[in-house]
Amino acid sequence: MIQATNISLRFGKKALFEEVNIKFTEGNCYGIIGANGAGKSTFLKILSGELDPTTGEISMGANERLSVLEQDHFKYDDQIVLDTVIAGNQRLYDIMKEKDIIYAKEDFTEEDGIRASELEADFAAMNGWEAESDAASLLNALSIDNSEHEKVMSELPDTDKVKVLLARALFGNPDILLLDEPTNHLDLDSIRWLEDFLIDFENTIIVVSHDRYFLNKVCTHTVDLDYGKMQIYAGNYDFWYESSQLMIKQMKEANKKKEEKIKELQEFIQRFSANASKSKQATSRKRALEKIELDTLRPSSRKYPYVDFKPDREIGNEVLTVTDLSKTIDGEKVLDHVSFTVGHDDKIAFVGSYGIAATTLFQILSGEMEPDEGDYKWGITTSNSYFPKDNTKYFDSNDTIVDWLMPFSPEKDATFVRGFLGRMLFKGEDGLKKVNVLSGGEKVRVMLSKMMMLGSNVLLLDEPTNHLDMESITSVNNGLIKFPGVVLFTSQDHQFIQTIANRIIEFTPNGMIDKVTTYDEYLDSDEMARKRQALN
């Protein structure tokens, strides 16, 4: 259990939190969500005691131990890997060190003997004899082999350091676990392992993440940080999203009676809890759902862009045929006799760690690059638009956003373009900003505006979710689920792939796998795992 009472925090004049009162209890996993800069990381620092709030206090259950995923990858560079993990339980580690010093003494006094036996008792009570093997198995689970355990941290690549820090946070069954963006820099297998670990974890977890799939999987509760306040929702991210959308919709229908509203929400909650899977988490979620107070639901201040791709014409049966396409870049054969045919209902995710292959393929298909060998043929009913992974060269211009978009607009009229930009969250004078000064996220929203205006029936999207916040990712995600045309895309966002794609193509350096399936089925399939192994 960990509790924040009357927490306020001010940096100068700006108040990040005001009178926050919140209690986190064991058996639950709380996902903290909020816009960039809302104060999620700062709040975790207050909980862990790293940062003092302006007012208020943090309290924990008696004798409880709190553990934090540390962010500084270089902090333990001069320490041994295995020690770094065990030192996650500082008290245990101190006992081990003190014992070592006493036993190393040449003249072992009576006092030393008494001290040693005290230490041994504490050590045994803390399961000290298991410490090394526990730490080793956490590391192994994150695919850091035994041969690495005695190395010094600085010898490990950065991606492995992240895993050691994670193992350190998880080590020794802490009572309270604080994780800030734990899936960043982790590979897919490690993320899946972490999900299972957290689902089985019985104490209190507080996690910040922008990975919706991860949040949906592990969280029993969602904590929304908005307007400097924190609101707890019983349920995972999708539940929070659906209920907040529902609230917005209902507020707009002003003349509806309150009873009707309550009834609709209750039915909604019931439907949702019936869907929940039968894990331990689901039971506690269900219990909490039953207790939910309708008054605590209020519309959030989040802004969702309105993403809707409407094709100008229906797509025919002939969409795209790719035949024996090859391309060598910087001496590396990136595409090697690639062939496939696209059907008119296909939404294909190109997955795997060999991302350069898909990027190259998209550049060729969009006409930006010539293949070395082979060819491709678009069906006559098709028109495609392309979202490049690297958009730098497109925005190397002094044009305003409105000017930049005008050539693609079906109506050559600034008012029309501005209206369009409004729904992509560019308000008022924003349309007069020069495109070369836009942030990464703003450029992505402009590029998506262009694609919506073009009205194509085939979309090629290379990492459209990079640089976007959760709200915009959700909007693009919903827009592509709804889109009646063909989509070829890549993304790092698990939920995005899972909810859009009906076919998966994985490029490896030694060939490709092509399967009509959902992403989760693809990842779970032993057959696919064997194929992947054979190709790597």
Ligand X SMILES: Nc1ncnc2c1ncn2[C@@H]1O[C@H](COP(=O)(O)OP(=O)(O)O)[C@@H](O)[C@H]1O
- Residue ranges in contact with Mg ion by CB under 5 A: 40-41
4, 16, 47, 215: which one binds ligand X (CB under 6 A): 16
CB of 218 to ligand X, least distance (A): 19
CB of 209 to ligand X, least distance (A): 11
Cβ atoms of 63 and 37 within 8 Å: the answer is no
Q: Which of residues 20-59 bind ligand X (CB under 6 A)?
A: 34, 36-42
The residues that bridge with 462 in the sheet, in sequence order, are 490
Q: Which is nearer to ligand X, 38 or 85 (CB)?
A: 38
- 3-class SS of residue 73: coil
Give residue 397's identity as a one-letter amino acid code. S
CB of 227 to ligand X, least distance (A): 13
Residue 217 binding result from Mg ion, ligand X, none, given CB thresholds of 5 to 8 Å by partner type: none
11, 108, 129, 227: which one binds ligand X (CB under 6 A): 11
CA angle 524, 528, 529 (to 5 degrees): 75
Q: Which of 285, 258, 259, 281 is nearest to 272 (CA)?
A: 285
Q: How far apart are alpha carbons 493 and 182 in whole angstroms?
A: 14
Cβ atoms of 271 and 242 within 8 Å: the answer is no
Residue 108 binding result from ligand X, Mg ion, none, given CB thresholds of 5 to 8 Å by partner type: none
Residue 36 binding result from Mg ion, ligand X, none, given CB thresholds of 5 to 8 Å by partner type: ligand X
Q: Which is nearer to Mg ion, 154 or 184 (CB)?
A: 184
Residue 331 binding result from Mg ion, ligand X, none, given CB thresholds of 5 to 8 Å by partner type: none
Classify each residue of 354-389 as buried b or exposed e, where b means 16 or more C-beta atoms within 10 Å of its C-beta.
Answer: bbbbbbbbbbbbeeeeebeebebebbebbbbbbbbb
Contact between 392 and ligand X by CB under 6 A: the answer reads: no
Classify each residue of 155-169 as buried b or exposed e, where b means 16 or more C-beta atoms within 10 Å of its C-beta.
Answer: ebeeebbbbbbbbbb
CB of 233 to Mg ion, least distance (A): 20
Give residue 7's identity as a one-letter amino acid code. I
Q: Which is nearer to ligand X, 39 or 311 (CB)?
A: 39
CB of 181 to Mg ion, least distance (A): 7
Residue 255 binding result from ligand X, Mg ion, none, given CB thresholds of 5 to 8 Å by partner type: none
Q: How far apart are alpha carbons 410 and 229 in whole angstroms?
A: 43
Q: Which is nearer to ligand X, 33 or 476 (CB)?
A: 33
CB of 426 to ligand X, least distance (A): 22
Q: Which is nearer to ligand X, 38 or 215 (CB)?
A: 38
Phi (first) and psi of residue 62, to 5 degrees: -60, 140
CB of 440 to ligand X, least distance (A): 15
Sign of the torsion formed by the C-alpha atoms of 108, 113, 119 and 121: positive
The H or E element containing residue 161 is helix 158-170
Q: How far apart are alpha carbons 67 and 47 in whole angstroms?
A: 11
Q: Which is nearer to ligand X, 40 or 494 (CB)?
A: 40
How many chain residues interact with ligand X (CB under 6 A)? Answer: 10
For 226, the token pair is 């908005």
Binding site for ligand X (CB under 6 A): 11, 16, 34, 36-42
